Structure 1
Amino acid sequence: MTSKKTWLITGVSSGFGYELTKQLLKKGDIVVGTVRKLDGVKDFTDQYPDTFFSKILDVTDTPSIHKVVNEVFTKFKIDVLVNNAGYGLFGAAEELSDEQVDRILNTDLVGSIQMIRSSLPHFREQKHGRIIQISSYGGQVAYPGNSMYHAAKFGIEGFVESVAQEVASFNIGVTIVEPGGARTEFRYGSAQVADELPAYDGNPAHDFKKMLDPANGLAPGDPARMAARIIESADKNPAPLRMVLGSEALKNTINTLEKRINDYKSQTDLAASTDFPTGE
């Protein structure tokens, strides 16, 4: 039987954050959840007054991240940090505004980086901890019309993979979760779309509109099952570095990586041509 844990989860008012919190509280764990507005977690507060604790936090505000994380670790011995806060932004790169670019990077990339950086000194002092970074298979596979989302997810995966190697000796495990399409608010509620330019009518950059329309079929991923697998991963030792959720996501990821590897292998002579000759 697994031991009870205390979790710090960002963005618990919707999506995976909400589902994770619901399942964890039901099984008796403690959750400290961050939200931008308290009304989104009133049901948790009312039903679990002794095991659910909310914190107001906008992850684009770095000073507030440091303040909240320090307060939480002072009051609780956090076992698991889940970086979940984030959203999708769709549209051709040219269609995006400067404000949209800055906001998604500050939310999906910089916010997660700063949450991890703020938590590491506390995990080291505790001599244990687990970091679960919610990414996407879009951290490995890129599609048109998703450029800034991919920029954030490719970026956070590189950061987290490096940090995982830095902190392994401190008994801090790190897992990158790469979900495929799921039936959450991410796709059917919170997704943001750029103002369209006529030049991109019929362009692959606008294919996302079919995906966002439920009339074209719902996403295959079950948020409840995905959340259960994420929770189970916290008890695995060593921590799995990556975990893909969804058969379609895994298939597309493997196909993309195989093509990438074959492309690299075809460049063997090209790469060697830029080395100094042996002995020089």
Structure 2
Amino acid sequence: MTHGRDDSPRHWFVTGATGGLGRNITEYALQQGDSVTATARRADGLDDLRKRYGDRLTVEVLDLSPPADVDTVISRVLAAHPVDVVVNNAGYALVGAAEEMSPDQIRDQIEVLLVAPMLITRAFLKPMREQGGGRIIQISSLGGQTTVPTHSGYHAGKWGLEGFTESVAQEVVDFGIHLTLVEIGATRTSFLSGMRFVEATPPYESTAVGRLRRDMRDADAGALLTGDPRKIAELVYATTRQSDPPLRLVLGEDSYEAIRTALTERLAALAPQKSVAASVRFTE
């Protein structure tokens, strides 16, 4: 067990670990002396880290669309060793108007961003409870608290993940299990290049959907992606060592400003409704 000492080696389970933030978190944990089970859609994506860290890194093939093999993979992992830290990182953004998205595209987006993290979180709760605690990191983004047109499926997944995590955190805190949502901004990873654009339709090309879609395709990604995934990985790791970690960890100036603006606007819109809200009360 690793919960008696703050500096003892731990075992991590990280999804979507072959690139971007997932790889940075995996590599940083290994550098600190921990071991990692990393999941990926192909087995050879982390060969360089396996050569460097040997048996401290295990790679499991896991496709989360749909997340049919979650229980099988996790059972195999837990049979080998306890897991102390889980990082639900895998994801992508589906870009387009809601009307343009096919039912299959919508289902796939929600399965990857919401259903898979729910199933993975659930699968680790019992073993973490029985071993006396654990950490679950949910990689969210400013898109879990804010919205833009073209990202309705993505927002549905991330907002859902935020609600799920906030609820579960209250259910398991008495068992020493802590959940943290990491709300990152634009980060210098392959996330933007991995966005999936749905087929555009003429009615939306002159609307906010069309304008934003063109901006995303034409943008200088280097100028937009100000977040350093290495620094994010370090802060995620530090959070897992805190005795009382935050429920939400906002990383990125853009994320902080966007979330602050969104929350401020929501409170401002709520305030005038106080008397209307009270007006539906039963009166004798």
Fold in common (TM above 0.5): yes
Q: CA deviation at 1:212?
A: 4.5
Superposed counterparts of 1:206-221, under 5 Å: 206=210, 207-215=212-220, 217-221=223-227
1:193 to 194, 197, 212: 197
Give the 3 Å change call, closer, same or farther, for CA 75–252 of structure 1 in structure 2: same
Q: Which residue does the alignment assign to 2:267?
A: 261
Q: CA deviation at 1:65?
A: 0.5
* Alpha-carbon distance in structure 2 between the residues aligned to 1:134 and 1:215: 24
Superposed counterparts of 1:23-34, under 5 Å: 23-34=28-39
Counterpart amino acid of residue 251 in structure 2: L
2:151 to 131, 146, 149: 146
Structure 2 residue runs without a partner (length 5+): 1-5
Q: Which residue does the alignment assign to 2:242?
A: 236
1:203 to 204, 207, 217: 207
Q: Which residue does the alignment assign to 2:3?
A: none
Q: Which residue does the alignment assign to 1:125?
A: 130
* Alpha-carbon distance in structure 2 between the residues aligned to 1:107 and 1:145: 18
* Alpha-carbon distance in structure 2 between the residues aligned to 1:106 and 1:214: 28
Counterpart amino acid of residue 228 in structure 2: D
Asked if the contact 1:60–1:110 (Cα under 8 Å) also holds between the matched residues in 2, the reply is no
Deviations 1:73-121 (A, max 9, x none): 2211211000001111111111111111111111111000000011111
Deviations 1:17-57 (A, max 9, x none): 11111111122210100111012111112221121001111
* Alpha-carbon distance in structure 2 between the residues aligned to 1:198 and 1:68: 44
Q: Which residue does the alignment assign to 1:270?
A: 276
Asked if the contact 2:67–2:111 (Cα under 8 Å) also holds between the matched residues in 1, the reply is no
Counterpart amino acid of residue 239 in structure 1: P
Q: Which residue does the alignment assign to 2:178?
A: 173
Asked if the contact 2:66–2:108 (Cα under 8 Å) also holds between the matched residues in 1, the reply is no
Secondary structure of the equivalent of 2:250? Answer: strand
Secondary structure of the equivalent of 1:240? Answer: coil
Superposed counterparts of 1:73-84, under 5 Å: 73-84=78-89
Superposed counterparts of 1:106-117, under 5 Å: 106-117=111-122
Q: CA deviation at 1:141?
A: 0.3
Q: CA deviation at 1:67?
A: 1.2
Q: CA deviation at 1:181?
A: 0.6
Deviations 1:116-175 (A, max 9, x none): 011111111111110100011100000011000000000011001000000000110110
Q: CA deviation at 1:62?
A: 4.2
Once structures 1 and 2 are overlaid, which stretch shifts more, 221-230 or 170-179?
221-230
Counterpart amino acid of residue 143 in structure 2: G
Q: CA deviation at 1:63?
A: 4.3
Q: So what's the TM-score if we normalise by structure 2?
A: 0.94
Counterpart amino acid of residue 236 in structure 1: Q
* Alpha-carbon distance in structure 2 between the residues aligned to 1:49 and 1:110: 32
Deviations 1:171-215 (A, max 9, x none): 10110010001111111x211111011111132113144235453
CA RMSD of aligned residues (A): 1.4
Secondary structure of the equivalent of 1:135? Answer: strand
Structure 1 residue runs without a partner (length 5+): none
* Alpha-carbon distance in structure 2 between the residues aligned to 1:212 and 1:229: 31
Q: Which residue does the alignment assign to 1:162?
A: 167
Asked if the contact 1:96–1:194 (Cα under 8 Å) also holds between the matched residues in 2, the reply is yes
Counterpart amino acid of residue 107 in structure 1: V
Once structures 1 and 2 are overlaid, which stretch shifts more, 151-160 or 24-33?
24-33
Give the 3 Å change call, closer, same or farther, for CA 213–42 of structure 1 in structure 2: farther
2:19 to 11, 14, 17: 14
Asked if the contact 2:66–2:112 (Cα under 8 Å) also holds between the matched residues in 1, the reply is no
Q: So what's the TM-score if we normalise by structure 1?
A: 0.95
2:9 to 4, 14, 20: 4
* Alpha-carbon distance in structure 2 between the residues aligned to 1:115 and 1:212: 33
* Alpha-carbon distance in structure 2 between the residues aligned to 1:229 and 1:54: 24
Q: CA deviation at 1:2?
A: 3.2
Counterpart amino acid of residue 196 in structure 2: Q
- Percent identity of the aligned residues? 38
